[in-house]
Amino acid sequence: MAQIHVDFQNRTGRIKPMHSVNNGPIVPQAHSFGNFDDYAAAKFPFARTHDASFTPAYGGPHTVDILAIFPDFDRDENDPASYDFDLTDEYMESILASGTKVFYRLGNRIEHESKRYGSIPPKDYAKWARICEHIIRHMNEGWADGHHYGIEYWEIWNEPDVNPQCWDAPVEDFFPLYDTASRHLKKCFPDIKIGGPAASSVFNHWLVEGLFRYMTRDPADPAPMDFFSFHHYGREADDFAKDAEAARAIADKYGYTDAELILNEWNYVRAWTRDELLTSYYTIVGLKGSAYVASSVLTAQKSPLDHFMYYDASYSVKWNGLFDSFTQKPLKSYYPLKAFGELYGLGTEVFAESDTHGIYAAGAVSENGGEAAVLLSYYKDHPSIDGTGTEEETVRLKIDWKGFSSDSGVDAAYLLLDAGHDMEAVAEETFFGSTGAHEFELPLYTTVLVRLKKR
């Protein structure tokens, strides 16, 4: 029998924002149902704005990217008339109205077309930095009929190690861009967080090690990096912990011991071949994809990561396993992120350990100790898309906990995410005493949320 042991008196830290996403809600429009209410209900902590310009409902090619906001690089960067903020402002408003904070990517979308525009390095790095400065001033300081959004995180570029789709030049040419922009922006705005480089992999050392060496070429005057961001697409949830440990080691090696670790693009990919990608797309929108999401956020919570951002919540990209591209209704992978949000809302992580590989768990308790929850999932990467047929597995699972009791009893509710349930309550019971236990059958690719409340 598999077991999960939980000790609610053993408080191990905070529940971190592991259920953030890339991109924001779809506000209902004439030809779109929108997903604003469901998006807001999930209480995503942050929405990263990379690739927003693929989505017409966000404003399409007139949104977020430097090319969209400052379309003519030869114009005066100090003149408000050189900028077009209108649709980007609307998009920022929709994200913030949902209760989600903005994580702003400074740069341009990935370009798969035969001709490049935004992936070509700017011809004047210092001017590009000043353009970014004015975008920040517009968003946070009211410049050019702007706002006071208080956006804290500003990321310089995206995947400069992906050539030529994201950086159409030698990767070494990116190093002075980051160096120039980070120094200028940190000087202008000492209280915001500047970072990057949104590497496609923490193990792409020609970018990662090269950038860190460049930033610290003068040990007495290192370039600022408040956060180190990178990506991972794969099929094993355990790999995220390995990435986080590698990232911490690299940042610490170069003296950035306080830099936050932000893995801000991730999703299920078996391999980058045509056939395996097709299988991956089917997986992303199904039950197996939801178990991968659940196990991944649970792994990320126990890793050195500070932020974890699913790619993508936008319906215009094939990586969206959260919302249906036609109806914008939630898909299976939406529910683990929303469920993790309940742990995040409780605030404090507690000891929770599984004794069985493939079964992941985390627990949380409220500050006043009156409510608690455990989120668990059973995931293995079988070759089949949904784990049915010959690949089907079911384990007998026992959850036992201690340190959460009330003289009047503790009410427990069990919510299930499987083929027939979308995180719906399937059982309830009341416990008395300082310990509790519950046994049930747990099929592969099932996710369970246990809610506990003192009477």
Strand 359-365 to 371-378 pairing: antiparallel
Instruction: Name residues whose C-beta falls within 8 Å of residue 309's C-beta, 6 or more positions apart in sequence.
Output: 20, 21, 22, 46, 48, 103, 262, 263, 264, 265, 266
Residues 366 and 299 in one domain: no
Question: pLDDT tens digits, residue range 442-455?
Answer: 999 999 999 999 99
For residue 31, pLDDT over 90 is answered with: no
Say whether pLDDT at 352 is over 90: yes
Split into its structural domains, the chain has a count of 2
Supply the CATH number for residue 136's domain: 3.20.20.80
The reported pLDDT for the residue numbered 388 is 47
Angle formed at CA 314 by CA 313 and CA 319, multiple of 5 degrees? 75
DSSP state of 131: H
4 is a domain residue: no
Tens of pLDDT, residues 246-285: 999 999 999 999 999 999 999 999 999 999 999 999 999 9
Query: Would you state the pLDDT for residue 20?
Result: 98
What confidence category does residue 389 fall into, taking pLDDT thresholds of 50, 70 and 90?
Answer: very low
Phi, psi (5° rounding) for residue 298? -70, -40
Contact 20, 48 (CB under 8 A): yes
- Residue 384, domain member (yes or no): yes
Are residues 237 and 336 both part of a single domain? Answer: yes
Query: How many Å apart are CA 119 and CA 157, to the nearest integer?
Result: 9
Range of the domain at 377: 348-454
* pLDDT, the chain, mean: 95
Same domain flag for 69 and 124: yes
pTM score over 0.85: yes
- Domain assignment present for residue 169? The answer is yes
Alpha helices in 236-366 (DSSP H): 239-253, 274-284, 287-301, 334-346
Q: Are residues 116 and 197 in the same domain?
A: yes
> What is the DSSP code (8-state) at residue 325?
T
Confidence (pLDDT) at 342: 98
Rounded CA separation 28/382 (Å): 38
Residues 153 and 89 reside in one and the same domain: yes
pLDDT tens digits, residue range 123-171?
A: 999 999 999 999 999 999 999 999 999 999 999 999 999 999 999 999 9
Q: Is 288 exposed, middle or buried (0-12, 13-18, 19+ CB in 10 A)?
A: buried
The separation between the first and the last C-alpha atoms of the chain, rounded to the nearest angstrom, is 30
Crossing angle (nearest 10°) for helices 174-188 and 205-215: 50
